[in-house]
């Protein structure tokens, strides 16, 4: 009889505590998730902080947090998972903070919207589910490279710096003479200086002070914008080149902008728009400009808003002038060549850097 009563009491206890946890287990529970760093560069560590509090007398034997997360946010062990899980136990009126070390393995914008919460009774007889809002995000900037690692043309104007201007040589401004080097145009030879020194001398050009620099990345790998981008790794490398070049130029005081024929990820673009806006940041050398460019590049979706020829045509239609344009691209079509010629006829200087397919692999 005593054993039977003990069994009955035990069953009643299990049922009552299960009902209690089912009814109020998640009441009085508050949760907050945040990233210590709002933005990091590719490959850098990120600290994610979970903070959960039990604001009631009832202890919580276990509570599990589960959230969907990009596999490009790796754990410190080098693993990426589609779901991040954390298990807690909470005493009455206890607040627990837990820190997780992640790594931003790839350029991108990574928002976290909700966290699924599960708790239950002591013996696991029943569970109750809910979700908490956890609106936070981390932005991973592209990897920055050394200037020597960017495959710029050897004849590029990216060399001498005069009064912190890093732009195309102006044929109307003279800054003395220098010795002839292989590849220099013959029409730049200064014959008087050559006769005087008995060595070939060419006119050294100065730099204009009112030019701007625009760095473009061409997302086209085929003509049909409905088709996926075939060489995404190469485009990613081009974006790293663009960010690195912009960083260097702005540090030299050059008014620099960025553009591409991609578009921003949601919520920075309207998914209902048939034709999304391309990415354009107008040239500036303000202290905030490089952050704007890094942020924009991080939030670009690997997709196209339009063909690159349509992107360049916008500059032609608007009469872009007095601007140095450098284009990172996998290929150059005949239509692009005609548009580049038009841009140059408007008073711009255009450099094209061919990105070899598979360079990012």
Of residues 299, 296, 205, 294, the one with CA closest to residue 245: 294
Of residues 104, 79, 108, the one with CA closest to residue 236: 108
Cα–Cα distances in angstroms (integers) from residue 107 to residues 43, 231, 313, in the given order: 9, 16, 28
pLDDT at 145: 94
Strands (E), the chain: 29-35, 39-41, 45-54, 60-68, 73-75, 83-90, 95-104, 108-120, 127-141, 169-179, 201-207, 212-217, 256-260, 263-264, 279-284, 300-301, 323-329, 349-354
Cα–Cα distances in angstroms (integers) from residue 323 to residues 23, 209, 289, 299, in the given order: 67, 11, 17, 25
- Partners of 139 in the β-ladder: 39, 109
With a cut of 80, say whether residue 171 has pLDDT above it: no
Higher pLDDT: 17 or 139? It is 139
Q: Are 327 and 216 in contact (CB under 8 A)?
A: yes
Whether 5 is covered by a domain: the verdict is no
Other Cβ atoms less than 10 A from the Cβ of 203: the count is: 18
Question: Domain residues for 192?
Answer: 169-206
Give the pair of three-digit tokens for residue 340: 């580049």
Distance of CA 9 to the CA centre of its chain: 60
Whether 178 is covered by a domain: the verdict is yes
Number of domains in the chain: 3
d(CA 29, CA 56): 8
Going 312 to 318 to 319 to 320, the CA torsion angle's sign is negative
Indicate if 156 and 298 belong to the same structural domain.
yes
In eight-state DSSP terms, residue 162 is: B
d(CA 116, CA 102): 20
Tell me the percentage of the chain whose pLDDT exceeds 90.
Answer: 44
With a cut of 50, say whether residue 170 has pLDDT above it: no
For the ranges 58-67, 257-266, 351-360, the maximum mean pLDDT occurs at: 257-266
Indicate if 159 and 235 belong to the same structural domain.
yes
Provide the CATH number for the domain around residue 130: 2.60.40.10
Residue 279: partners with Cβ closer than 8 Å, 6 or more residues away:
258, 259, 260, 261, 262, 263, 264, 296, 300
Q: What value does the mean pLDDT take over residues 189-197?
A: 71
pLDDT at 11: 60
* Mean pLDDT for all residues in the chain: 82
Indicate if 186 and 289 belong to the same structural domain.
no
Indicate if 284 and 333 belong to the same structural domain.
yes
With a cut of 80, say whether residue 304 has pLDDT above it: yes
Indicate if 113 and 221 belong to the same structural domain.
no
* Phi, psi dihedral angles at 39 (to 5 degrees): -150, 140
Indicate if 189 and 152 belong to the same structural domain.
no
The H or E element spanning position 14 is: helix 2-24
Indicate if 217 and 275 belong to the same structural domain.
yes
Indicate if 181 and 318 belong to the same structural domain.
no
Provide the CATH number for the domain around residue 247: 3.40.50
Indicate if 277 and 350 belong to the same structural domain.
yes
Tell me the percentage of the chain whose pLDDT exceeds 70.
Answer: 75
> Which of 161-165, 181-185, 213-217, 322-326 is the least confident region?
161-165
């Amino acid at each position: 009889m005593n054993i039977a009563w003990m069994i009955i009491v035990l069953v009643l206890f299990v049922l009552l505590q299960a009902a209690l946890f089912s009814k109020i287990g998640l009441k009085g529970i508050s949760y907050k998730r945040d990233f210590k760093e709002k933005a990091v560069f590719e490959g850098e560590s990120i600290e994610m902080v979970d903070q959960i509090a039990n604001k009631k007398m009832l202890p919580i034997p276990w509570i599990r947090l589960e959230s969907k997360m990009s596999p490009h946010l790796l754990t410190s062990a080098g693993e990426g998972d589609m779901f991040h899980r954390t298990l807690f136990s909470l005493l009455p009126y206890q607040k627990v903070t837990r820190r997780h070390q992640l790594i931003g393995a790839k350029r991108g914008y990574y928002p976290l919207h909700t966290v699924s919460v599960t708790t239950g009774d002591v013996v696991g007889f029943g569970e109750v589910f809910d979700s908490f809002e956890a609106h936070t995000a981390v932005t991973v900037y592209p990897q920055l490279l050394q200037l020597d690692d960017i495959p710029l043309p050897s004849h590029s104007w990216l060399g001498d710096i005069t009064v912190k201007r890093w732009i195309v040589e102006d044929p109307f401004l003279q800054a003395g003479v220098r010795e002839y080097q292989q590849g220099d145009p013959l029409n730049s030879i200064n014959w008087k200086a050559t006769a005087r020194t008995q060595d070939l001398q060419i006119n050294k050009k100065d730099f204009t002070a009112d030019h701007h620099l625009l760095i473009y990345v061409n997302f086209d790998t085929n003509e049909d914008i409905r088709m996926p981008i075939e060489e995404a790794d190469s485009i990613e490398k081009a974006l790293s080149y663009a960010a690195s070049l912009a960083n260097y130029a702005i540090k030299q005081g050059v008014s620099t902008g960025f553009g591409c024929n991609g578009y921003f990820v949601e919520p920075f673009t309207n998914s209902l728009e048939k034709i999304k806006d391309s990415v354009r940041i107008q040239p500036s050398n303000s202290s905030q400009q490089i952050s704007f460019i890094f942020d924009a590049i991080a939030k670009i979706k690997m997709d196209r808003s339009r063909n690159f020829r349509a992107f360049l045509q916008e500059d032609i239609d608007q009469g872009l002038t007095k601007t140095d344009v450098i284009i990172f691209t996998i290929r150059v079509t005949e239509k692009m060549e005609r548009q580049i010629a038009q841009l140059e006829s408007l008073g711009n200087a255009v450099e094209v850097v061919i990105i070899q397919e598979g360079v990012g692999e």
